[in-house]
Chain A
Amino acid sequence: MTLDETRPGQVFRIVSISDDLARLQAIRFGITEGARAVCESVLPGGPVVVRKGMQEMALGRALARRIQVEPVEG
Chain B
Amino acid sequence: MAQDCCGVAVAEVHGDDRKVVLVGNPNVGKSAVFHGLTGVYVEVSNFPGTTVDISSGRMGKSVIYDTPGVYGISAFNEEERVARDVLLQGDVVVNVVDACHLDRDLFLTVQLIDMGYPMVVALNMMDEARANGLAIDVRALSEELGVEVIPTVATRGQGIEELREAVGRARQGRRTPSIEPLLPSIPSPVDAVLVAEDDEDACRRHGVTPPGTREEVYRLRRERVNQIVARVVRETDEGASLATRLGRLTLHPVWGSLMLIAFLVAVYYILGVGIAQWVVGITEELWMGEYYIPWITELGSRVLAPESFLGQVLFGEFGLLTMTVSYIFGLLLPMVLGFYLMLSFMEDSGYLPRVAVLVDRWMNKVGLNGRAIIPTILGFGCVTMATMTTRLLGSQRERTIATFLLSLTIPCSAQMAVIATMLAPLGPAYFVAFGLILFLMYGLAGMLLNRLLPGESTPLLIDLPPMRLPHLGNVLRKTLLKTKMFITEAGPIFAAGSVLISVMAAWGILDGLQNALAPITVGWLGLPREAANAFIMGFVRRDFGAAGLYSLPLTSHQVMVALTTITLFVPCIASVMMILKERSTREGVLIWATDLVIAIFTGGIVHRILW
Residues of chain A touching chain B, judged by Cβ–Cβ distance below 8 Å, are: 19, 21-30, 32, 40-41, 43-47, 49, 52-63
Q: A23-B215, A59-B459 are in contact. Are A30 and B357 (CB under 8 A)?
A: no
- What 19 new A-B contacts, CB under 8 Å, besides A47-B360, A49-B464? A19-B459, A21-B458, A22-B461, A28-B108, A30-B103, A41-B251, A47-B370, A53-B103, A54-B101, A54-B103, A54-B132, A54-B134, A54-B466, A58-B353, A58-B356, A60-B364, A60-B370, A60-B459, A61-B361
Q: Is the CB of B461 within 8 A of A30?
A: no
Tell me whether B431 is interfacial, beta carbon within 8 Å: no
Name B74's closest neighbour in chain A (CB-CB): A24
Q: Is the CB of A47 within 8 A of B361?
A: yes
Give the shortest distance, in Å, between A50 (CB) and chain B (any CB). 10
* Cα(A63)–Cα(B370), bound, Å: 13
Give the shortest distance, in Å, between B88 (CB) and chain A (any CB). 20
- Most chain A beta-carbon neighbours within 10 Å: one of B218, B225, B357, B462: B357
Give the shortest distance, in Å, between A18 (CB) and chain B (any CB). 12
Q: Is the CB of A43 within 8 A of B251?
A: yes
Contact partners of A46 in chain B: CB under 8 A = 357-358, 360-361
Question: Which one of B101, B218, B225, B463 lies within 8 Å of A24 (CB-CB)?
Answer: B218
Contact partners of A53 in chain B: CB under 8 A = 103
Contact size range, B = 35 or more
Give the shortest distance, in Å, between B466 (CB) and chain A (any CB). 8
Question: Which one of A28, A40, A44 lies within 8 Å of B218 (CB-CB)?
Answer: A28
Tell me whether B253 is interfacial, beta carbon within 8 Å: yes
What sequence of 0s and 1s flags, for each residue 131-142 of chain B, a beta carbon within 8 Å of any chain A beta carbon?
010100000000
Q: Is the CB of A32 within 8 A of B222?
A: yes
Q: A24-B214, A25-B71, A28-B107 are in contact. Are A60 and B461 (CB under 8 A)?
A: yes
Tell me whether B72 is interfacial, beta carbon within 8 Å: yes
Q: Is the CB of B460 within 8 A of A63?
A: yes
Question: Which one of A25, A45, A52, A56 lies within 8 Å of B461 (CB-CB)?
Answer: A25
What sequence of 0s and 1s flags, for each residue 353-381 of chain B, a beta carbon within 8 Å of any chain A beta carbon?
10011101100100001100000000000
What sequence of 0s and 1s flags, for each residue 39-80 of chain B, a beta carbon within 8 Å of any chain A beta carbon?
000000000000000000000000000000001101010000
* Cα(A53)–Cα(B461), bound, Å: 17
* Cα(A58)–Cα(B370), bound, Å: 10
Q: Is the CB of B100 within 8 A of A57?
A: no
Q: Is the CB of B460 within 8 A of A60?
A: yes
Q: Is the CB of A57 within 8 A of B364?
A: no
Contact partners of A21 in chain B: CB under 8 A = 76, 458
- Most chain B beta-carbon neighbours within 10 Å: one of A22, A52, A58: A58
Residues of chain B touching chain A, judged by Cβ–Cβ distance below 8 Å, are: 71-72, 74, 76, 100-101, 103-104, 107-108, 132, 134, 214-215, 218-219, 222, 225-226, 247-248, 251-253, 256, 353, 356-358, 360-361, 364, 369-370, 458-464, 466
Give the shortest distance, in Å, between B379 (CB) and chain A (any CB). 22
Question: Which one of B222, B247, B369 lies within 8 Å of A27 (CB-CB)?
Answer: B222
Q: A41-B252, A46-B357, A58-B357 are in contact. Are A28 and B72 (CB under 8 A)?
A: yes
Name A19's closest neighbour in chain B (CB-CB): B459
Give the shortest distance, in Å, between B64 (CB) and chain A (any CB). 25
Q: Is the CB of B104 within 8 A of A30?
A: yes
Q: A43-B358, A47-B360, A49-B251 are in contact. Are A58 and B462 (CB under 8 A)?
A: yes
Q: Can you give 18 A-B contacts (C-beta < 8 A)?
A: A19-B459, A22-B459, A22-B461, A24-B74, A27-B107, A28-B104, A28-B218, A32-B219, A40-B251, A49-B357, A53-B103, A55-B103, A55-B104, A57-B461, A57-B463, A58-B353, A61-B364, A63-B459
Contact partners of B101 in chain A: CB under 8 A = 54-55
Q: A45-B361, A60-B360 are in contact. Are A40 and B104 (CB under 8 A)?
A: no
Q: Is the CB of B251 within 8 A of A62?
A: no
Give the shortest distance, in Å, between B197 (CB) and chain A (any CB). 9
Contact partners of B76 in chain A: CB under 8 A = 21, 24-25
Q: Is the CB of B107 within 8 A of A30?
A: yes
Q: Is the CB of A41 within 8 A of B248?
A: yes
Q: Is the CB of A62 within 8 A of B364?
A: yes
Contact partners of A40 in chain B: CB under 8 A = 248, 251
Contact partners of B222 in chain A: CB under 8 A = 27-28, 30, 32
Give the shortest distance, in Å, between A60 (CB) and chain B (any CB). 4
Q: Is the CB of B214 within 8 A of A60?
A: no
Contact partners of B459 in chain A: CB under 8 A = 19, 22, 59-60, 62-63
Name A49's closest neighbour in chain B (CB-CB): B251
Name B111's closest neighbour in chain A (CB-CB): A28
* Cα(A54)–Cα(B248), bound, Å: 13
* Cα(A53)–Cα(B316), bound, Å: 63
Give the shortest distance, in Å, between B113 (CB) and chain A (any CB). 15
- Most chain B beta-carbon neighbours within 10 Å: one of A32, A60, A63: A60
* Cα(A40)–Cα(B356), bound, Å: 16
Give the shortest distance, in Å, between B195 (CB) and chain A (any CB). 16
Give the shortest distance, in Å, between A55 (CB) and chain B (any CB). 5
Q: Is the CB of A26 within 8 A of B357?
A: no
* Cα(A68)–Cα(B215), bound, Å: 18
